[in-house]
Structure 1
Amino acid sequence: MPAATGGKVRQIFTAALRGILVMAAITAFTDLRAVAQSFPSQPIKLVVPAAPGGSTDILARSMAQLIQQQTGVSVVVDNRAGAGGTIGVGAVVHAPPDGHTLLVTVPDGITVLPHLRKDIPYRAAQDLMPIGLMAETSWLFAVNAGSPFKTMKDLIAAAAAKPGSIRYSSPGIGTSAHLVTERLRLQSNTDMLHVPYKGAGPATMAVVMGEVDMIATSPISLKAFLDGGKIRGLAITGGRRSAVLPDIPTMEESGFAGFVASAWFGVFAPAGLSADRAEQVDRIVSAAVRHPDFQKQILAMGLDPRLMNRTEFAAYVAADSTRWREVVEKSKVSLSD
């Protein structure tokens, strides 16, 4: 075959292939109405175990809009705040396992509080089916801008030299922010004083005002204080540096080997969902999460996009639960403290 003819054939083939790929990408989002012939057959409810306006609520509302576009059915967000998220989780646990009620949540009511409380009316590992991971965020260890501590090693050296002298705030006993700092205390073999507050806002202001020495919280929630020179970031707990705060080192870069921890945002369904229905729900949720508008929303919130399928997310949640169980057992944290 002449070279010119071969080149023309390749051009035609490449153009055809590009067209096929574009059509496949469009179909992945817009052609899910075929699924809607059997599911969903009624409005979908996304239960958020937190008050309106927070990160989980914002993600759920963005997802609701995209799922509604996909399927043509109404999607509502039902905020069920209270009891550390366990009220909202419980509402989904007891919902019919038909895929029309889903949970959009962070770890607390799934992998943290079940190790701290005996009165939770569900068993997350048995009563919920993981559907998919949407995003993650690291914790940022930070101190007041006037603090003498420039690095995590400085702070830990002070804690080791004078046990109990370092005070750290959290949104409350048993929260993820509390336990991630307990993990730091255990790994560094130091004694630090926990000062719980009623919510993330007061806990953050305690560091800004110099009432405590340190806090662990999401990087995006501290960015304004960092930019304003009120707070100094020491290290983040992610496996890589934050895109929001690229100049702050990770814990591993700071000399704390293996110290990687993330808060996550995921979707669950009631256990008992059939394999076929679970696959349908997975397809719909995944298409929404992969949509460019949803990805932009995640990045705008300072979160790290990360998508996992049902099998991967189930293993991820199980490992996360094991990590927090070990921290709770070793630190002897109790909600009656």
Structure 2
Amino acid sequence: MQLLSGKGKSLLCAFAASVVSVSAFAQAWPTGTVTVVVPWPPGGPSDIAARPFAKSLTGTVGQTFVIDNRAGGGGNIGSAAVARAKPDGQTLLITSSAPIVINPSLYKNMTFDPLKDLAPISNLLRVPLVLVANPSVPAKNLKELIAHVQSKQGKFSFGSSGSGTPQHLTGELFNSVLKLDMIHVPYKGSAPAIADLLGGHIPIMFDSTIAIMPHIKSGKVVPIAVTGAKRSPLLPNVPTFAELGQPSLESYAWYGLFAPAGTPKDVIAKINAETVKFMKGPEFEKIRAETGSEFVGDTPENFGKFVQAESIKWGKVVKSSGATVD
């Protein structure tokens, strides 16, 4: 058998060393404290997923995970910081859908491209929205509500938790699909919007089930329909828009996990595996039950396809509505 030449041995050794190096890097993740950026203020919906995620992985992977709430710019500031971070798995992003699939169409000047500069890891929560009305509105179902809005001839308004949020854009989708002419009234968050809904200052709004459920239970607002593909276990007696003949009004407030683009695929795979394992645990199952989310843990590839589809969908809604924040 012919022996390798000196040059051949050197090449073989170099190749073996590179394989060992890459393997060791993947096995070593995380190599220190992992920063999980949440581009929203503390206590917001993204924290519902982020804080138990950080706590769980701190206990399972041997390093500390810390939450960095970096709010501003409709989620753009914190998301951009992760997009610019070193792609080594030590900086992650947990965010709602807005800065990923809505803001690129809504803002004229984005400092990063979410589809190019961030690597999808997994969906975490996907929460259906519910259309609710103040009891003073003379409508207890979708047909009656549509007739009432049309009778107002452009003088009927809907509230939302802010321009560019899934709640706002779902209202615009509702406007477009049903050929209505409602006026959007944006608020700085869900809480003030709900307060004005309860006070009768705005007649209707879309919001996540977790935010509005206490007021549905108390009878202070009337649920009209939910935007999920199937009925919410939290609202089993409230029909979906699909059941009412409007399947194109399917919409969710979803929250996902991302890393900077260029993060090695084996590191992404390990983060994904740890994340899905966490999502199957009892603590997160309780969170899913409380929020009305199905299990949506997925592969990075499938989550990436979902993000692409959502970007196209909401880009069309922004364009047709003329919505902008710049």
TM-score by length of 2: 0.89
2:240 to 250, 256, 264: 250
Partner SS state of residue 217, structure 1 = strand
The answer to whether the 8 A contact 2:26-2:267 is kept is: no
Q: CA deviation at 1:334?
A: 2.0
Rounded Cα–Cα distance in structure 2 between residues aligned with 1:98 and 1:290: 25
1:281 to 253, 266, 271: 271
Tell me, yes or no, if structure 1 residue 196 matches structure 2 residue 175: no
Whichever residue aligns with residue 264 of structure 2, its letter is S
Change (3 A) 1:303 1:77: same
Rounded Cα–Cα distance in structure 2 between residues aligned with 1:273 and 1:37: 14
Root-mean-square deviation over aligned CA pairs: 1.6
Alignment of 1:162-311 (within 5 A): 162-311=152-301
Rounded Cα–Cα distance in structure 1 between residues aligned with 2:211 and 2:287: 16
Choose 52-61 or 109-118, whichever is displaced more: 52-61
Partner SS state of residue 219, structure 2 = coil
Change (3 A) 1:174 1:36: closer
Rounded Cα–Cα distance in structure 2 between residues aligned with 1:206 and 1:255: 30
Describe the superposition over 1:33-58 as per-residue Cα deviations: whole angstroms up to 9, x where unpaired. x9985211111111111111122113
Moved over 6 A (4+): none
Rounded Cα–Cα distance in structure 2 between residues aligned with 1:252 and 1:302: 18
Q: Which residue of 1 aligns with 2:87?
A: 97
Q: Which residue of 2 aligns with 1:148?
A: 138
Rounded Cα–Cα distance in structure 2 between residues aligned with 1:143 and 1:217: 11
Q: Which residue of 2 aligns with 1:125?
A: 115
How many matched pairs?
303
Describe the superposition over 1:61-88 as per-residue Cα deviations: whole angstroms up to 9, x where unpaired. 1011111121111111111111111111
Q: CA deviation at 1:158?
A: 2.0
Alignment of 1:42-57 (within 5 A): 42-57=32-47
Q: CA deviation at 1:102?
A: 0.7
Q: CA deviation at 1:291?
A: 1.9
Change (3 A) 1:156 1:283: same
Describe the superposition over 1:112-135 as per-residue Cα deviations: whole angstroms up to 9, x where unpaired. 111011222100000000000111
Change (3 A) 1:55 1:172: closer
1:87 to 77, 81, 90: 77
Q: CA deviation at 1:197?
A: 1.8
Rounded Cα–Cα distance in structure 1 between residues aligned with 2:26 and 2:86: 18
Q: Can you give the 5+ residue segments of structure 2 that lack an aligned partner in the other structure?
A: 1-23
Rounded Cα–Cα distance in structure 1 between residues aligned with 2:323 and 2:56: 40
TM-score by length of 1: 0.86
Rounded Cα–Cα distance in structure 2 between residues aligned with 1:35 and 1:93: 21
Rounded Cα–Cα distance in structure 1 between residues aligned with 2:185 and 2:265: 46
